[in-house]
Every structure is written in C-alpha cells, then in structure tokens.
Structure 1
Amino acid sequence: MQSLWKLYQVFCSVGFCTFGGGYAMLSLLQRTVVEKYHWASEEELMDYYAIGQCTPGIIAINTATFIGYKKEGLRGALAATLGFLTPSLIIILLISMFMQNYADLALVKHAFAGIRIGVTVLIFDAIIKLGKKSIVDAYSLVIFAFILVLAVCTGVSPIILVVSCGVVGYMLYHKAVMK
C-alpha cells in the first residue's frame, strides 16, 4: 500500500507542476521517474511516450499509467493515473470558476502569453533530450529526417507518423542485420 501511495504522490506532484500538456512534462518525468526513483529507464520512458502517443487519451496520463503498471501492476496503474489526474481536476475547476469573469483582463492575457512561452521552452528542452537519446546513428537520423519532413510539410496524423517510424525503423535495422 505504501508503494501505491508513493506512486500517487509522485504523479500528483508531477501533474501539479506540469503546465502545457504531455510534451512539456517529459523533462520533469525524465528527472523524476528515471533519475530520482529509477522506476523506468530513459529508453522505457521514450517507449511509453511513443505508445502513449498512439493510444487514445492524453499522452501524459497514458505514460503515467504505463509506469504505474510496470511498478505495481493494475493497482499501480490506477494509483499513478489518479495521482496525475487529481491536480488537473482541481486546477480546471478553479480556473473555470474564475476564468469567465477575468479572461478579458490584460493581466490575465499577459500571464497566459508568458505561460505559453515557458511551455514552449519546456517542450523544446524535451525535444533536445529525446533527440540526444534517439538519434544515435545514420539510420535513426534518416528516420528523424523522414518524419520531420512529413510532420512539417503535411497534415499527417501523429499516429501515422509514429507507426511509420516503426515501419521504417524495422526496415532499416532489419536490412542492416541481414547484411
């Protein structure tokens, strides 16, 4: 029961400190789950994140669920998921109570403009960290370039992009192994 409570607390704190969605939380999750508690390796975290991108729901919650499941099975998945959801529910309720009355205030508009900039930096930080761990050879660079072009130049669904990465990765690495 103590480890379930720890999962809940950790993901509640991650959820409370994360603004900007799943991408913005990757850096905090990496520091917390990988470096501090050693509940997953960096590779596992990236795998959970990739799978979370392809499955229905919010990436951050899916990732928390995967980590909780790895640590404590079904009960761990539930504890981590509820932990991550709790702060969001509280914050959304508070914001919805006040937002309608104050959304047009210059102070609120400027605060949200600053928050968007901060979230952009967090997402960029996550991209740099993921890139350093993911782009490790010529094959991964080819996959990166291929998907980057598709993502930037087309409106292809992220699910198709991730599945395409898997297919291209399999083909490139399988071909290299067969040589």
Structure 2
Amino acid sequence: MILWQLFLSYLKIGFFGFGGGYAMLSLIQNEVVVQHGWMTGSEFADIVAISQITPGPIAINSATYVGYHVGSQAGGTALGIVGALLATFAVCLPALTIMMLVTRFFLRLKGNRLVAGAMNGMRPVVIGMIAAAALLLIFPRDPADNSFIDGWSWLLFGAVFAGTLRRINPILLIVASAGAGIAIYYLPSVL
C-alpha cells in the first residue's frame, strides 16, 4: 500500500514538476513531509543536501533517497531498494513519455506562438517554485523541525555570494566552504 502511494506521489511530482529539480523541491516537500508525513522537514533537508552533492539531477536523486527511506521504514532494506527504484521510475516516467510524444511534433510546434507564449508564461512560475523551495527549507512549516540555517550559514552564504560577484573560481568556493563547514561544525564537537 505504501509503495503504491509512493509511486503515485512521485508520478504526480513528475507530471507537475516543471522547471527542473529545484522547482520540484516544493512539490516533493509537500508530498513527502506535509501530505504523507513520511519524514520530518529536517530529514528532508538532509536528503536535499545529499541530493545536491551526488551526481545527477536533484529530483531523481531525492526520489531515490526518499523512496529508499520510505520503503526501508515500511519493511527493511529489500523494500527500501524497491521503494528507491519505484520512486525513481515514477518521477522519470512522465518526462520520458512527454518527451517521446513531443519530439514527434517538435519541429511543427517550434515556431507556434501559442506554445512560445505558454513557455514564456511558465518562466515566472518556475522562479517562484524555486524560491518557495528555498523558503521551505529555511523556514520549516513545523515549529518542531529546526531549520538548518544559523548565523554561520548566513555568513558562509554572504562570503560565497561575494566571491561569485568577484568571479572567484566556483570549485575554489566549494572547497573553501567545505573547509569552513568542517572548521565551524565538526571540529568543535571533536575537540
């Protein structure tokens, strides 16, 4: 039963998640945390962080991790693997199906003003969904869930943002941020 709910939830996310993985995060958070309560907001924030640092699209990575989490909670590791495969397949199925259908008509629809207008109309929605995902991670809906954002996080954000404005190499910024994170969050607990 729970695997069927997982499949339907990620199928819905796949159908309505326009704008890429970050735009889909608010839909995923709504399904996983709010609607079904499969995990807490802080657990979801951890999955988002892991999904960002692993290779591949964030929506597919998070589907895999959430599916594993939900399946393993319901019945152990074997069911976790089934849940991971099912959620990943469900989130990919709509895009695969739509792309197979659209590519047949792409050359005819490419210059269509109605299609171009629809795409232009979706751009602001995608930006809004990305902003909503960021706000949901920063300010969780459930007061019991602590946000992972603290003063140090804002300071690191400001430093990296300033670094991007000064055109510092992004790889250097990532490595420096990792070092700062270790120094701020890990070393005090060890010492």
Residue pair 2:51, 2:61 contacting (<8 A) in 1 also = yes
What are the within-5 Å matches in structure 2 for residues 83-102 of structure 1?
83-102=90-109
Q: Which runs of 5+ in 2 are unaligned?
A: 72-79, 140-146
Shift of residue 3, structure 1, vs aligned partner: 2.2
Aligned mate of 1:156, from 170, 178, 181: 170
Give the Cα separation in 1 of the matches to 2:19 and 2:165.
21
Whether 1:4 aligns to 2:34 is no
The verdict on how the C-alpha distance between 1:38 and 1:151 changes in structure 2, with shifts beyond 3 A counting, is farther
Residue pair 2:163, 2:173 contacting (<8 A) in 1 also = no
* Amino acid aligned to 1:126: A
Give the Cα separation in 2 of the matches to 1:37 and 1:143.
33
* Amino acid aligned to 2:160: I
> Which residue pairs with 2:77 in the alignment?
none
> Which residue pairs with 2:185 in the alignment?
173
- Greater helix share, 1 or 2? 1
* Amino acid aligned to 2:16: C
With normalisation by structure 1, the TM-score equals 0.86
- 2:69 aligns to what SS in structure 1? helix
Deviations along 1:63-96, one digit per CA (max 9) or x if unpaired, are 0000011111111100111111111111111221
Residue pair 1:16, 1:87 contacting (<8 A) in 2 also = yes
> Which residue pairs with 1:143 in the alignment?
156
Residue pair 2:63, 2:84 contacting (<8 A) in 1 also = yes
Give the Cα separation in 1 of the matches to 2:112 and 2:15.
25
Shift of residue 21, structure 1, vs aligned partner: 0.8
Which stretch has the larger CA shift, 163-172 or 119-128? 163-172
- 2:19 aligns to what SS in structure 1? coil
Give the Cα separation in 2 of the matches to 1:104 and 1:153.
39
Give the Cα separation in 1 of the matches to 2:103 and 2:27.
26
What are the within-5 Å matches in structure 2 for residues 87-126 of structure 1?
87-126=94-133
Give the Cα separation in 1 of the matches to 2:107 and 2:158.
43
Residue pair 1:135, 1:144 contacting (<8 A) in 2 also = no
Shift of residue 178, structure 1, vs aligned partner: 7.2
- 2:37 aligns to what SS in structure 1? coil
Aligned-residue sequence identity (percent) comes to 35
Shift of residue 35, structure 1, vs aligned partner: 1.1
What are the within-5 Å matches in structure 2 for residues 28-107 of structure 1?
28-72=27-71, 73-107=80-114
Residue pair 2:156, 2:177 contacting (<8 A) in 1 also = yes
* Amino acid aligned to 2:183: M
